[in-house]
Structure 1
Amino acid sequence: MAEIYVSTDVEADGPIPGRNSMLSFASAAFDADGTMVGTFTANLDTLPGAVADPGTMAWWGRNPEAWQACRAELREPGEAMADYRAWLEALPGKPVFVGYPAAFDFMFVYWYLIRFTGVSPFSHSALDMKSFAMAVLGTEFRGTVKRTMPRAWFGPGRHTHVALDDAIEQGELWIAMRRAARSR
């Protein structure tokens, strides 16, 4: 079965799921040729008993447009995650989680999928774009950041901290990285 690369971005009110809430998430799915085959996005109600991290909320205070975007049309997490799981399972291939950074985004998505649906269509793995870029560029991990990556890898999208915008932008970056690796 073909792999479908699911670029996913998470917006949260703190650093860890459970104690903090995932406020919004989105995925943009790409086939091996780089064609976007679908998107999914949801803004979520906060978890009962969860608390927002003061440092994270100060960051949100400096980004009011993104905050407003992630607090519109809220959905109950269980319902949204069930719909997301169904969307993932209907993709035309095996979903591969792709994130930047994968450790943060995957942690939230995996926790919410297991908590609310009992299953993760991604299994236990995620592809980290920063690690992949490090391998392609032959650079050190800490020195591999977007500002040091080739400009040709970036499309016209800009990082807005609106989950769907960022998932698409990062998915396009992933496809450019993959093409660069294959051309070597």
Structure 2
Amino acid sequence: MPEIYVSTDIEADGPIPGPHSLLSLASAAFTADGRLLDTFSVTLDTLPDATGHPDTMAWWATQPDAWEAARRETRPAAQAMASYHAWLLQLPGKPVFVGYPASYDFLFVYWYLMRFVGHSPFGHAALDIKTFAMSLMRRPFRSVTKRTMPRRWFAGTRAHTHVALDDAIEQGELFCHMLREHGGQLGT
């Protein structure tokens, strides 16, 4: 089975799942040659005993359009994650989680999948775009940011809006430019 690169972005109301909630989740599934296969997007009800972290909520106050998008037509977490799980399973290959930063987005997605579905089609691993960039650029990790990455990697990518679906597609396009430059399609 070929690998399907599932560029994923989440929005949350705090730094960790459990005490804080996943607000929105979106993924864009790409083939190794950069073709966008499908997208998934959902907004979730907050967890019953969770609260927004004060620092995160202060940041959200500066992003009213993104906040509104993350709170529109919310669904119960169990229902949202079951739909996401089913979407992942119907992809025509093995899903690989891709994120920027993967450590944050994967933390929430994995926790929610395990809590509400009991299974993660991603297994225990995630591919971090920043780490991949570090390798391609041959630079120290902390010196790699979107501002220091080659502009050619952003050719035709969308704006970063803090709306989960926009950002999942934008980051997937960035990853595909990097992958193509690295040597094109990888073996399966």
TM class by smaller structure: over 0.9
The match for 1:20 is 20
Q: Which runs of 5+ in 1 are unaligned?
A: none
1:107 corresponds in structure 2 to 107
Count of residues in correspondence between the two structures: 183
TM-score, with length taken from structure 1 = 0.98
Gaps of at least 5 residues in structure 2 are none
Tell me if structure 1 keeps the 8 A contact 2:157–2:173: no
In structure 2, the partner of 1:174 is 175
C-alpha RMSD of matched pairs (Å): 0.7
The one-letter amino acid of 2:117's match is T
User: 1:1-184 counterparts in 2 under 5 A?
Assistant: 1-154=1-154, 155-182=156-183
Equivalent position amino acid for 2:31 in 1: D
CA deviation string 1:55-96 (max 9, x = no partner): 000000000000001100101110010010000000000000
**Cα deviation, residue 129, structure 1:** 0.4
| Counterpart code for 1:145 | T
SS at match of 1:56: helix
CA distance, structure 2, for counterparts of residue 153 and residue 133 of structure 1: 10
TM superposition shift of 1:156: 3.8
Percent identity of equivalent pairs: 64
Q: 1:156 to 1:123 in 2, by over 3 A?
A: closer
- What's the secondary structure of 1:107's corresponding residue? helix
Q: In 1, Cα distance between the equivalents of 2:32 and 2:175?
A: 11
Which letter does structure 1 place at the counterpart of 2:81?
A: M
1 CA distance for matches of 2:180 and 2:148? 18
Give, in whole Å, the separation in 1 of the partners of 2:43 and 2:157. 25
Query: Normalization by structure 2: what TM-score?
Result: 0.96
Q: AA paired with 1:106?
A: F
Query: What is the DSSP-based 3-state SS (H/G/I as helix, E as strand, rest coil) of the residue aligned with 1:49?
Result: coil
SS state at 1:145 partner: coil
Which consecutive segments of 4 or more residues in structure 1 shift more than 4 A?
none
Amino acid aligned to 1:53:
H
State how far apart, in whole Å, the 2-side matches of 1:66 and 1:128 are: 23
Residue 25 of structure 1 aligns to a residue whose secondary structure is strand
Cα deviation, 1:1-29, whole Å, max 9, x if unaligned, reads 10000000010000000010000010000
Q: Distance in 1 between matches of 2:70 and 2:109?
A: 16
